A and B are shown apart, each in its own frame.
With several copies, the nearest count.
Chain A
Amino acid sequence: MQLITAVIKPHALDAVKDALKAIGVSGLTVSEVRGFGRQGGHTETYRGTEYTIDFVPKAKVEVLVDGMDADKVVDTIASAAQSGKIGDGKIWVTEVGRAVRIRTGEQGSDAI
């Protein structure tokens, strides 16, 4: 079982969700995050004082997969979230040992 985590641009979330749904992913969890990266760093002025905005808003998508090819999920996210402009974000995959569906207590791939 694997957990795929993607940090994407907020307005790409729609497309990513639809693309994942299309390949049969049945669930995912999203959170609001702030990203610091190559994209970052522009300077603004507030009431006469300069400041730098380093962090830009991103959405973090987490998808737990089993049975299904994790790579396919990664590729699906990558193509749905890609605008080709800096700041499109990252995807990474970690190994998951155990998964449980709380409602039923089902384990492993049944849990997803």
Chain B
Amino acid sequence: MPRRLALGAGLVAVLTYVMASPAAAQELPEGAASQVILDNIWVLIATVLVFFMQAGFALVEAGLTRAKSVGNIMMKNLMDCMAGVLAFLFVGYSIGFGAEALGGFFSWDGFGVPGIDDVAAAPAALNLSPATFFFFQAAFAATAATIVSGAMAERTKFKSYFIYSLVITSLIYPVILSWTWGGGWLSQLDIPFSDFAGSTIVHATGGWAAMMGAIILGPRIGKYGPDGRPRVIQGHSIVLVVLGALILFIGWFGFNPGSELAADALVPQLAVKTLVAGCAGAVIAMLVNWALDRKPDVSMAANGLLAGLVSVTAPVGAIETWAAVVIGAVGGALVVLSVRFFDRRGVDDPVGAISVHGVCGTWGTLSIAFFATFDDAFLGREDAGLLYGGGIGQLSTQALFILVHFVFVTVTTGLLFLAIKKTVGLRVSEEEELAGLDVMEHGAPGYSTEQGQGTGLLPSAGVPVVERV
């Protein structure tokens, strides 16, 4: 039974691609649906759920930041998907999934996606047509890109963010792809890396990029007191936060089960494990936060849900249900502690992106070394986890994978943000930041409760319109 896109040399014998082949098609009795069609349709539906996550990210980030920059954060989320997909179509896909190039440092197949318009093209993966496979991978690329906007919210120039999002989807994320799911060196180790649906490949890429962005930008004005102690800047709408988290929850049922890249019996397993890990993350984050702060913070519970989901994304194919609960629960506890840690270290991440995607993504990837018992295509064997007697081999590989990824992402995105800072500039002026980015960067406030005759005389009660300081 096919699990995940098999990678590297000779890992998998691709099933005969009957879909467009008249001869093969005749082998199917009249009226029998082909597995190929079903695989493609299922992955397509899963991808739609993954694209829906864009709305989830946008809402969580908007809700956790201030009303005066809400248009800006929505725009960034919109555009890193829109521009990111085009960048991935023209350049990134080829780097991620092309033939080996540059001595294996990354892949290259020329611009664009080979066979994308050809309904009879050889499958790009398992039974998936090039179009389906691109569709799915583009949604993942957009996810990796969009994580960063939250951590850099309320102070980043739109133009600079736009440049960043083009570079990450056309270059940085694709190189990571080429090393891993693209079949590159990390998948060719004796004990290959394992990351079923991208705790590290997708989420930690976004998470560590977010960390570099937040550090290089510096905190929002007023976030730290003169004594350096963190101050509270409340998000403007908990409704948006929870709605966004629930949309992400839904989307994750495309993200993880869809990563099977086939419609098979493992898919429901993946859904259940995704579900229970998310639930455990939310409940434990709430309880830990309750214990620490005497009250259950709503936004931390939402972060906990996402933490559980990110954590289980890597191990989801290899673990039992009880382990999914444990992994999600640890993710939920971690995110509460990690948000405090970064907040107190002077890293101003209004939405907790570094903690949710970077820290929990890393935890999830590491957790495979302990809890893996089922074979998914990346592991190539059963009982790889320490708890099942798999030895420390997988732990070493996972650690290496995490480390290499961390160094690569922090260095490349660090250089990218510094380069942007030196050239077009990364941060808006103090005046703009105080007034909010909406009017200054986009020409209109995000909210308006103007009652007049359309002349803008009493706009945006309670929402700052720009102020010339």
The answer to whether A and B assemble together is yes
Q: Which residues of B contact A39 (CB under 8 A)?
A: 467-468
In the complex, B172 has a CB within 8 A of chain A: no
Whether the Cβ atoms of B222 and A42 lie closer than 8 Å is: no
Residue in A53, A83, A87 whose CB lies within 8 Å of B465? A53
Q: Which residues of B contact A11 (CB under 8 A)?
A: 222, 434, 451-453
In the complex, A94 has a CB within 8 A of chain B: no
Whether the Cβ atoms of A53 and B451 lie closer than 8 Å is: no
Q: When A45-B443, A51-B231, A56-B468 are in contact, do A32 and B297 touch as well, CB less than 8 Å?
A: no
In the complex, A57 has a CB within 8 A of chain B: yes
In the complex, B354 has a CB within 8 A of chain A: no
The smallest C-beta distance from A97 to any residue of chain B, in angstroms, reads 27
Contacts across chains A and B counted by CB atoms under 8 Å? 101
In the complex, A98 has a CB within 8 A of chain B: no
Docked Cα-Cα span, A10 to B457, in Å, equals 9
Docked Cα-Cα span, A95 to B343, in Å, equals 47
Shortest Cβ distance from B289 into A: residue: A48
Residue in B299, B464, B465 whose CB lies within 8 Å of A47? B299
Q: When A57-B467, A59-B458, A87-B467 are in contact, do A49 and B295 touch as well, CB less than 8 Å?
A: no
Chain B interfacial residues counted at CB < 8 A: 40
Whether the Cβ atoms of A53 and B439 lie closer than 8 Å is: yes
Residue in A9, A47, A48, A53 whose CB lies within 8 Å of B466? A53
Shortest Cβ distance from B456 into A: residue: A51
Q: Which residues of A contact B467 (CB under 8 A)?
A: 9, 39, 56-57, 87
Q: Which residues of B contact A10 (CB under 8 A)?
A: 451-452, 458, 464
Docked Cα-Cα span, A12 to B464, in Å, equals 14
In the complex, A69 has a CB within 8 A of chain B: no
Whether the Cβ atoms of A48 and B293 lie closer than 8 Å is: yes
Docked Cα-Cα span, A62 to B294, in Å, equals 35
Chain A interfacial residues counted at CB < 8 A: 31
Q: Which residues of A contact B461 (CB under 8 A)?
A: 32, 34
Q: Which residues of B contact A34 (CB under 8 A)?
A: 458, 461
Docked Cα-Cα span, A48 to B352, in Å, equals 12
In the complex, B462 has a CB within 8 A of chain A: yes
Q: Which residues of B contact A51 (CB under 8 A)?
A: 231-232, 455-456
The smallest C-beta distance from B420 to any residue of chain A, in angstroms, reads 25
Residue among A47, A53, A54, A86 with max Cβ neighbours from chain B (10 Å): A47
Docked Cα-Cα span, A111 to B287, in Å, equals 45
Whether the Cβ atoms of B465 and A56 lie closer than 8 Å is: yes
Contact with A along B209-236 (1 / 0, CB 8 A): 0000000000000100000001110100
Q: When A30-B458, A57-B451 are in contact, do A45 and B468 touch as well, CB less than 8 Å?
A: no
In the complex, B11 has a CB within 8 A of chain A: no
Whether the Cβ atoms of A47 and B339 lie closer than 8 Å is: yes
Chain B, 421-446, CB within 8 A of any chain A CB:
434, 439, 443-444
Docked Cα-Cα span, A97 to B289, in Å, equals 51
The smallest C-beta distance from B379 to any residue of chain A, in angstroms, reads 36
Docked Cα-Cα span, A51 to B229, in Å, equals 11
Residue in B230, B457, B466 whose CB lies within 8 Å of A49? B230
Residue among B230, B343, B434, B456 with max Cβ neighbours from chain A (10 Å): B456
In the complex, A13 has a CB within 8 A of chain B: yes
Q: Which residues of A contact B352 (CB under 8 A)?
A: 47
Q: Which residues of A contact B232 (CB under 8 A)?
A: 46-47, 49-51
Q: When A14-B453, A53-B466, A86-B468 are in contact, do A46 and B458 touch as well, CB less than 8 Å?
A: no
Q: When A51-B232, A57-B464, A87-B468 are in contact, do A14 and B455 touch as well, CB less than 8 Å?
A: yes
Q: Which residues of B contact A57 (CB under 8 A)?
A: 451, 460, 463-465, 467
Whether the Cβ atoms of A48 and B292 lie closer than 8 Å is: yes
Chain A, 1-53, CB within 8 A of any chain B CB:
9-11, 13-14, 17, 30, 32, 34, 39-40, 42, 44-53
Residue in B336, B452, B468 whose CB lies within 8 Å of A13? B452
Docked Cα-Cα span, A85 to B340, in Å, equals 36
Docked Cα-Cα span, A103 to B466, in Å, equals 19
Docked Cα-Cα span, A50 to B229, in Å, equals 10
Shortest Cβ distance from B434 into A: residue: A11
In the complex, B189 has a CB within 8 A of chain A: no
Docked Cα-Cα span, A40 to B466, in Å, equals 10
In the complex, B459 has a CB within 8 A of chain A: yes
Residue in B289, B300, B443, B458 whose CB lies within 8 Å of A55? B458
Docked Cα-Cα span, A66 to B154, in Å, equals 41
The smallest C-beta distance from B442 to any residue of chain A, in angstroms, reads 9
Docked Cα-Cα span, A85 to B300, in Å, equals 34
The smallest C-beta distance from B464 to any residue of chain A, in angstroms, reads 5
The smallest C-beta distance from B154 to any residue of chain A, in angstroms, reads 14
A-B contacts besides A42-B466, A53-B459, A55-B459, 10 pairs, CB < 8 Å: A11-B434, A11-B452, A44-B444, A45-B297, A47-B300, A48-B336, A56-B467, A57-B451, A57-B467, A87-B469
**Residues of chain A at the chain B interface (Cβ within 8 Å):** 9-11, 13-14, 17, 30, 32, 34, 39-40, 42, 44-57, 59, 83, 85-87
Pairs A–B under 8 Å by Cβ, sample size 21: A9-B467, A10-B452, A10-B464, A11-B452, A13-B452, A13-B457, A14-B457, A30-B458, A32-B461, A32-B462, A45-B293, A45-B294, A45-B297, A46-B443, A54-B457, A55-B459, A56-B466, A57-B463, A85-B468, A85-B469, A86-B468
